[in-house]
Amino acid sequence: MTGPSTLVNRLLAHKATKPVLWTLLALPLAWLLWGAINDKLGANPAEALIRGLGDWTLRGLVLTLAITPLRQWTGWHQLLRHRRAIGVATFIYGTLHWLAYAWLDQGLEIDALLKDVAKRPFILVGTLAWLLLLPLAATSFNRAIKALGGRRWQALHRAIYAIAVLAILHFFWMRSGKHLYGEVAVYASIVGLLLGWRLRNAWRQRTQVPARPAPATHAG
């Protein structure tokens, strides 16, 4: 008898799933660009575009972190096939977020950029999070995995948790100017739960005592 998990895994493994996923991942960007071109982003379109790209970067980070727990909780093991696409899309949104800030807020002037990054902590933290994403994106391909080896690749990509924490801090400082903490609390709670799940699993693996082999018995 075919269960729900089997059906979901078949759908996730279907060859059409990847293009559908990439289309869904591109829709927020398409909407933001359409809004910018058609003056539909409100009174301050530059700020709306920068923040919109940042919001989707944070959502992508949360979704990337949630893949492994969801896979274990639901039995949807084929989710793992799509984690790379979500991670790459997150990097694209993060890069566009930073470039939009550099262009629309600082006019792509290097001196102004450096001064602003040094002056405002939330910009500094956000820039650091984006810089930490660079090696993850650069090693998201099969050749990089083979070159690094599985263990080193996994160790490198655990930086996603530090990046998520920095992104939450960036979001918190950005919203603190207007005392808007509702969304920050939601994202911080989700990231905290996912990080707690990861730490608990790591602790269990370290403290787990291997079972002793049963003593041999002899027929008398």
- How far CA 78 is from CA of 13, 39, 150, 204, in Å, comes to 6, 40, 19, 25
Which one has a higher pLDDT value, 1 or 178?
178
What per-residue confidence (pLDDT) applies to 212? 53
The domain limits of the chain are: 4-206
Q: Please tell me the distance from the alpha carbon of residue 60 to that of residue 186, in angstroms, as a whole number.
A: 15
Q: Which long-range contacts (CB under 8 A, 24 or more apart) does 168-175 make?
A: 168/58, 169/122, 169/125, 170/54, 170/122, 170/125, 170/126, 170/129, 171/54, 171/58, 172/122, 173/121, 173/122, 173/125, 174/51, 174/54, 174/122, 174/126
Angle at 28 between CA 23 and CA 32, to 5 degrees: 130
- Residue range 48-86, pLDDT digits in tens: 999 999 999 999 999 999 998 999 888 999 999 999 999
pLDDT at 211 over 60: no
- Residue range 166-205, pLDDT digits in tens: 999 999 998 887 777 889 999 999 999 999 888 888 788 7
Query: End-to-end CA distance of the chain, in Å?
Result: 46
What per-residue confidence (pLDDT) applies to 198? 86
CB 58 within 8 A of CB 187: yes
What per-residue confidence (pLDDT) applies to 92? 97
Neighbours of 211 (CB within 10 A): 6
Helix (H) or strand (E) holding 55: helix 45-74
- Residue range 88-132, pLDDT digits in tens: 999 999 999 999 999 999 999 999 999 999 999 999 999 999 999
Q: Using 50, 70 and 90 to split pLDDT, how confident is the model at 220?
A: very low
